[in-house]
């Protein structure tokens, strides 16, 4: 699975793109991703889900569809604003 690991440059591009789409700062997005809530959610993913996610975020069109989905916006709002 190591071959699917994004480079630091790709991660930075994804963070920049996602933060613009979500209307938050890159730093706020990084903080949210590193939070315990994000770690808890990620720990529940199966290996196939992880692989699917990696494939999706490496495709700019698929990433845009993901970030524009109502579910993604709702999740990011919940994580960023720490709502229950």
Give the distance from CA 30 to its chain's centroid: 9
On whether the CB atoms of residues 50 and 57 are closer than 8 A, the answer is no
Q: What is the pLDDT of residues 49-76, one digit of tens each?
A: 888 878 877 888 888 888 888 888 888 7
Q: What is the pTM of this model?
A: 0.47
């Amino acid at each position: 699975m190591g071959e699917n690991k994004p480079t630091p440059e790709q991660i930075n591009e994804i963070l920049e793109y996602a933060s613009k789409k979500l209307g938050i700062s890159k730093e706020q997005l990084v903080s949210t991703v590193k939070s315990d809530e994000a770690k808890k959610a990620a720990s529940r993913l199966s290996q196939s889900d992880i692989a699917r996610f990696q494939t999706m975020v490496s495709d700019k069109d698929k990433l845009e569809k993901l970030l524009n989905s109502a579910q993604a916006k709702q999740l990011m709002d919940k994580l960023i604003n720490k709502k229950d």
